[in-house]
Amino acid sequence: MKNIAWLASYPKSGNTWVRAFLTAFFRKPGEGNGFINDLVAVSAASRKIIEEELCLETSELTMEELENLRPEAMRSFAKEIDKAPHFIKVHDAYTNTPSGEALFPKEISIGVIYIVRNPLDVAVSFAHHNGEDVEKTISLMANSKTHISQNTNSIQLQVVQKLQSWDEHVKSWIHQTDIPCLLIKYEDMIADPETEFKKILDFCKIPFSEAELRSAINRSSFSSLQSHEMKEGFKEKAINASAFFRKGKAGSWRDDLTTEQANKLLRNHMDTMKELGYIDKAGNFLH
């Protein structure tokens, strides 16, 4: 049965904002503060969930064995769901396991909401999140072998996730034809949140009123999330970052990147940036 809606994105592209909107939407106004640390959508890479679904100790599996078993973990998770759609957060690229199976099974998938953001803004945000310099992040975003949560000498609370390069990540999701895909741009969410969040609810066939939509948008606005983080902390903030909800703007890369850094990112990701409308045919920035 198809009951999973994947919320997929490269890191720092707006995934948490969408989760916050959905959380606010499903909670009535005034129904408790503290929702920031109780957001909808478990992670597809949660080691605890994978272990529970497989009934196996994942730390004793090789990376290849674990990757081969992840689709089964998701199928098992989906069997226990009684209300659709059920949202699952994903940072992995859409790839096949070493045994050749799609990492995200189509037979359980209603669709994927793929959230994309200008890679120049992603680079700045990702660098802050990791506590690293932007040059290193630019290289990481260009590398087909980039993973997150990978450490062969210890265990992480999440399992290894293959990101690939930024543009490979984007293309893997928006060009695949196994799972229906709704593309949402971070910049469009900022410019016109009502239209974009409405698209998400319609895509998932979730009924709503205009009042409910506006209320959820207000309660999950960037300033609201920043305020929540300051008061309550945010458990998903990386240890090296000063804050998770930092700027929340489109185009702030112009303040943070040198011309050389911006051009490097442009060269690395030009085709996909054109396809997504981040640059025009001549290579001029549009965002």
Site for other proteins in 210-239 (CB under 8 A): 233-235, 237, 239
Q: Which of 28, 96, 136, 155 binds other proteins (CB under 8 A)?
A: 155
User: Which stretch, 66-74, 83-91, 129-137, 213-221, contacts other proteins (CB under 8 A)?
Assistant: 66-74
DSSP string spanning 20-82? HHHHHHHSPTTS-S-GGGS-S-EETTBHHHHHHHHTS-GGGS-HHHHHHHHHHHHHHHHHT--
Interface with other proteins includes 100 (CB under 8 A)? Answer: no
- Choose which of 7, 69, 116, 174 interacts with other proteins (CB under 8 A): 69
Q: Report if residue 52 touches other proteins, rule: CB under 8 A.
A: yes
CB proximity list for 35: less than 8 A, separation 6 or greater: 20, 23, 24, 27, 228
Taking the alpha carbons at both ends of the chain, their separation in whole angstroms is 40
Query: Which one of residues 30, 32, 34, 60 is an interface residue with other proteins (CB under 8 A)?
Result: 60
Tell me how far the alpha carbon of residue 209 is from its chain's centroid: 26
Amino acid of residue 255? D
Alpha helices in the chain (DSSP H): 15-26, 47-54, 63-79, 119-130, 134-141, 166-174, 186-191, 193-203, 210-219, 222-232, 253-256, 259-276
Q: Confirm or reject binding of residue 58 to other proteins (CB under 8 A).
A: yes
Does the protein bind other proteins through residue 31 (CB under 8 A)?
A: no
Contacting range for other proteins; rule: CB under 8 A; set: 55-63, 113-121, 171-179, 256-264: 55-63
Tokens of 64: 């290849």
Q: Contacting other proteins (CB under 8 A), which of 1, 28, 48, 223?
A: 48
In the shown chain, the binding pattern of residues 70 to 99 toward other proteins, with x for contact by CB under 8 A and - for none, equals: --x--xx-----------------------
Q: Which residues bind other proteins (CB under 8 A)?
A: 47-48, 51-62, 65, 68-69, 72, 75-76, 151-157, 233-235, 237, 239
